Structure 1
Amino acid sequence: MAAILHDPKELTFRQTCGGSILTTTAILSAASCFVNQSRPNPASQYRIRVGSDQPNAGGSVHAVRLITLHPAYDYRTKSADVAVLRVTTLAYSLTVQPVTIAGINYNVSDSDTLFVLDGDRIRVRTSGEFCEGDYGGPVIHASNSVQVGVASYSYQCGVKRYPSLSAKVAYHAVWIANAAR
């Protein structure tokens, strides 16, 4: 996990989104975390924190050098809501490890707690609802610890009768891999 920290004035960075570690220099998150009315915010307004279970303390903080939004991302519909951040080099440790992402042929069965709404989305059924600060974080297929989604949207944070949606990692796996190189 990574905490995505933001401050438009670049003075006091606070967690606004989540992410997952792909490599020592790449973080996967949601494109919606970095866009203000269809325009991307500058990378200098962001930092990432890794190696801590606290959103605004501990671990190590790294500068974001580049934010690459999926070219098909639509801020109105949240379609293709994935982004890869290039960051200063992380050091792997017991608390800083890369995630395994679902490949293009990865399948989540109907009996699992996640299910596919369409080619680009996964709906989270029983694992809770996303709220502020969760967007961009990983949705993990618990049976084998593979990241299958990127938290993207929820209606009325914390109200379980409404679905939370995530971008389907397998659908974007090739793009994610290329952007993380």
Structure 2
Amino acid sequence: MLRILVVLGALAACLAAPTNETLPGKIVGGTTAAISQFPHMLALMNANNAQFCGASIISNSWGVSAAHCTVGFSANQLRVRAGSAQVNSGGTIHVVSQIINHASYNARTLTNDISLIRVATPFVFGTNVRAIGLRTTELATGTYTTVTGWGAIRAGGAGSATLLQVSVPVVAPATCAQQYSGITTSMLCAGYAAGGKDSCQGDSGGPLISGGLLVGVVSWGGVCAAANQPGVYTKVSFHRSWIQTNSGV
């Protein structure tokens, strides 16, 4: 089943993804990460400060996440925690003032699964809080990327209290299309053929990075860390002009 976490209002519910599967959530096969290594990392939370997705800082006022994380919410129902590797403490909490979901987001196919989040009070940059640059070109197959989050450490498992990271290689589009139907040029796949390392439930909306740039947003995939079921990410380079048009970043 494809893995995807969808939150509607104050309730979390599973949404049918491209082929009947569920969405990505937590990091499987990863290691503990310091927030100073990933100062762009945000925990996306509901009004009760409960984390359910990730996001990335792209300027002092804007973050980027997955549309399946933010559709169904009004801005005042969301918060983000910046500057902490702990999912439930530390850092600073910012109220969200605006959500922009991609107008062509398709909840069935997860095409254009990207959203922008504006915070009411700007992020104060320092060692643990910083914006990440956005990649504008394609990544070559086999390029190693890093995904971070507080999602499940195994399929169906609980989330992590501490930020985790895992390195996964980019999968050729043709190879990914053999594993899943509905792969488009706006998506990027990453993972090992043998499985064992992956994003999972709870990581949705979080960053996939390479070379210090944001290259993807955690979107969906098959069974977490299963063989021949890579994670699928919204490709940032494909949506670069959309991000600039809507946020000025």
Other-structure match for 1:66: 98
Unaligned runs of 5+ in 1: none
Other-structure match for 1:175: 242
Q: Tell me the secondary structure at the aligned position of residue 239 of structure 2.
A: helix
- The alignment's TM-score, normalised by the length of structure 1, stands at 0.87
- The alignment's TM-score, normalised by the length of structure 2, stands at 0.64
Provide the identity percentage.
30
Other-structure match for 1:43: 75
Unaligned runs of 5+ in 2: 1-40, 144-168, 174-183
Greater RCO (Cα-Cα under 8 Å, separation 6 or more): 2
After superposing the two structures, state which structure 1 stretch, 17-26 or 126-135, moved more: 126-135
Which 4+ residue blocks in structure 1 deviate beyond 6 angstroms?
none
Aligned Cα RMSD in Å? Answer: 1.5
**Residue among 186, 191, 195 paired with 1:120:** 186
The one-character-per-residue Cα deviations of 1:80-128 (angstroms, maximum 9, x if unpaired) are 000000102110010001011111xx12112321135331110112393
Give the aligned length: 169
After superposing the two structures, state which structure 1 stretch, 41-50 or 158-167, moved more: 158-167
User: Greater strand share, 1 or 2?
Assistant: 1
Q: Is the alpha carbon distance of 1:157 and 1:169 closer, same or farther for their aligned partners in structure 2, counting shifts above 3 Å?
A: same
- 1:153 and 1:50 map into 2 onto residues whose CA distance is 24
Pair 1:81 & 2:150 matched: no
Give the conservation status (yes or no) of the 8 Å contact 1:129–1:154. Answer: no
Query: For residue 140 of structure 1, what is the amino acid of its counterpart?
Result: I
Give the conservation status (yes or no) of the 8 Å contact 2:191–2:229. Answer: no
- 1:33 and 1:152 map into 2 onto residues whose CA distance is 9
The one-character-per-residue Cα deviations of 1:128-171 (angstroms, maximum 9, x if unpaired) are 32212210011112xx2211110001222343542210000000
- 2:247 and 2:105 map into 1 onto residues whose CA distance is 17
**Residue among 131, 148, 154 paired with 2:200:** 131
Q: Is the alpha carbon distance of 1:160 and 1:25 closer, same or farther for their aligned partners in structure 2, counting shifts above 3 Å?
A: farther
**Residue among 67, 76, 80 paired with 1:31:** 67
